[in-house]
Amino acid sequence: MANKETERQQSLPNFKMSVNSRYAKMRHNCELTLKYDSVIDKCDELTTIPIFTYDFLSISDIAAKEVGTFINVIAICKEATEKNPNTIFSKNSPGFEFKSFMK
């Protein structure tokens, strides 16, 4: 757990929330990191949970945004496999291009 003027972090099992100034262009300044065995449960308790507003985009609308634009995206991962060390990620083309050298 770290506390600084520019970055604060709270750690819970399999969950990390950091406040980072690079997210200052968003309506919030938090980055959430979930690990592979994280679980998100619905909270039915009446409590004062902070509310964040997001501007979600469809995946198809991302290509129309200018480079450097901050956006919110939510997606469902339908499959996960072991990481392939021969896969590279290229940022030189519009969007991300996934290339694998193994057949």
Torsional sign, CA 56, 11, 68, 53: positive
- Report in angstroms the alpha-carbon separations of 69 from 23, 34, 83, 103: 11, 23, 28, 35
Please state the rounded mean pLDDT for residues 19-23.
59
Task: Report how far residue 52's alpha carbon sits from residue 47's, in angstroms, rounded to the nearest whole number.
Answer: 15
Residue with more model confidence, 88 or 43: 43
The burial class, CB within 10 Å (0-12 / 13-18 / 19+), for 23 is middle
Q: How confident is the model at residue 89 (pLDDT cuts 50, 70, 90)?
A: low
Please state the rounded mean pLDDT for residues 68-95.
68
